[in-house]
Structure formats: C-alpha cells, structure tokens
Amino acid sequence: MSVMIRSILRLLAVALLGVALSAPLTGLMIGTAQARPFPDRIALPNGFQPEGITIGRHATAYLGSLADGDIIAVNLRTGKQRLISEGLGPNFPSLGLKIDNRGRLFVAGGASGTGRVIDVRTGKIIRSYRFATAPTFINDVVLTRRYAWFTDSQQPQLYGVPLGRGGKPGRQADVVTLTLSGEWEQVPGFNANGIAQTPDRKALLVVNSMTGLLFRVDPQTGVATRVDLGDTLLTAGDGLLVRGTTLYAVQNQLEQVAVIKLNAAGTSGQLVDTLTSNDFDIPTTVAAFGNSLYLPNARFATPPTLNTSYWITRIDRR
C-alpha cells in the first residue's frame, strides 16, 4: 500500500471518529436546550386563597381554596391548571389535603367540621364526613396504612377515617374520635395543626401552633408526648412533611421551613437547617416532588379580594 493511500485512510479514520464523538455531544446539547426546568413560582387564580397542597402522579399538585372550597390540579412543570372539583361555597373551605396512590383526595374542611374524599379523575365526592360541631376547625390530614387522621385546631381531638382494602375510606359510623391526652395542653387559639407519621410509621406527629411544641401521639390511645427538640420551638407551626428521618415543618408567620433530623421513633430530633425564600408570603403547607419542596402562599396579612394574587413557591429540598 502506498504512502499516499495510507495517509488518506488515516485522515478518513480521524474524520469518522470525530463525527462519532460529536454526535452524542450534539444530541446532549440539543436535549439540554429543549429541557424545560420546573419554575420556581407558579401563579394561581386571583382570589383563590390557597392553604393545603399535595402532589400526586405526573408532577401534578392539588390545592384547595379557603374562599369557596374549589380544588384545582396544577402541572408543576408547565403551570397549566384545571378545576377538578367545584367547592360547596364559603362555608365549606378546603384546607389540608392528601392524595393516595389510587387518586383519592382527602380534604380537611375547616370550620365546617367536615372532611371529604374526592376522586381526582372525576371530581366526584366519594365520601363526606361530619367530625364535629362548633367550635371546630378541621385543619390537616395524614394518610396511614389503616386510617386517614384529621386534626382539629379548636378541639383536643383527632378524627380517624378507617381505610379498608385498597385504602377504601370507611363509613361515617366507623369514624374514630381520638382525644389527645398525656402532655398535650389545649390553650386559647389554634392548637393542633399539621400532622404527619413518625419515620417508623408507628405513631403520629402533631404540631401545636400556639405553643410551638411538637408531639408524638399514640394512635391507639391518644397519649401525646412532647418530642425532644432541645431548645427548638416550632412557633407558628403549620404543615408537616416527613421524608425518611427528615421533618419539614412550615412556620407560616415566620415565613420559613424548619428542617429537623428525627430518630426513627420520632421521640427526639435536632434542627439542622432553616429554609427561607424571598418569594414567601405566609406559606402554610408543604409537599415534595423530586428534590424540590412546594409551598402555597396564603398571604394571611393581605386582605383577600377577588383580584388578590396567589402563588406556589418552589425551593430546593435539603
């Protein structure tokens, strides 16, 4: 083979190798350019007055309205929204929310003393419950293996909706009223607020908004024991979220999220971080998607009107 032919073949091989190496890089650059990041702020309908948030499949968040009880679904990537359940009016607000893996949305009903379960695919109310009469404020809900537990900020009680096979919610007659006892102290104002499970899922965590104390509650007896957080108080504590052994506790009026590392039993914990954002305006509850936390801003210090703006804030989960 001549020297010239060998030179030509060598140049051709180099050229082909360059094409092979550049093709994946070009594709990566195009893919990166086309990728749409999740926005840090998602506008909600004017006048909506959000309070609770939960996140289901396909990056879809569900939020309830304090104004009239409407429930909307929001795509966290695009911000696209749709009404999935029309509320029952101002006397039946929607507060804390939790969705199960079958598309059933459990909703706390505030001063109406009620709760309801909605099919997010159809908007149909599957079950409705009367938990208490005035004074009452059904504030938040958590789903466990056997019950959906609702807090009452005006009464030292939790209400448990039994969950049957496949998580099917039980009847009104089977609702359990669990009186909080032990170290729980009911004081004037809003008491029991956010609720979650302990990391080992054997007990409940409930924050008292007025005292700033966090309690571990035995779901069999209602006995509440103060969680040892050292000198940390969860002043203005609102929504709670547990991921692994990390508790995220929203402190609404302080416009921050306390990050607490718990032991498995939820009997003690240590404050490891405090998350804030310039975009906060009295955030109330929190839900996680991927490495992000999403919080609706209730803007309680701003007089609500039909034109008042509201939004969801995204922050990094740490």
Between CA 281 and CA 295 the distance in angstroms is: 10
Tokens 């607000």 map to which residue?
Answer: 93
Residue type, 114: T
Task: Report the half-sphere exposure of 245 (CA within 13 A, side-chain side).
Answer: 12
Sheet bearing 256-262, strands edge to edge: 237-243, 246-251, 256-262, 269-275
**Secondary structure (DSSP) of 223-263:** EEEE-B-TT---TTEEEEEEETTEEEEEETTTTEEEEEEEP
Burial string for 14-41 (b: 16+ CB within 10 Å, else e) reads eeeeeeeeeeeeeeeeeeeeeeeebeee
| β-sheet bridge partners, residue 157 | 179
| β-sheet bridge partners, residue 63 | 53, 72
Ranges of the chain with pLDDT below 70: 1-36
Q: For the segment 266-304, what is each residue's pLDDT rounded down to a tens digit?
A: 999 999 999 999 999 999 999 999 999 999 999 999 999
Between CA 192 and CA 205 the distance in angstroms is: 10
Spatial contact of 188 and 199, defined as CB atoms under 8 Å apart: no
| β-sheet bridge partners, residue 118 | 105, 125
Q: Which residues have a Cβ under 8 Å from the Cβ of 209 and sit 6 or more positions away?
A: 153, 189, 190, 191, 193, 236, 237, 238
**Secondary structure (DSSP) of 201-225:** SSSEEEEETTT--EEEE-TTT-EEE
For strands 181-182 and 223-226, give the pairing.
parallel
State residue 290's pLDDT score. 95
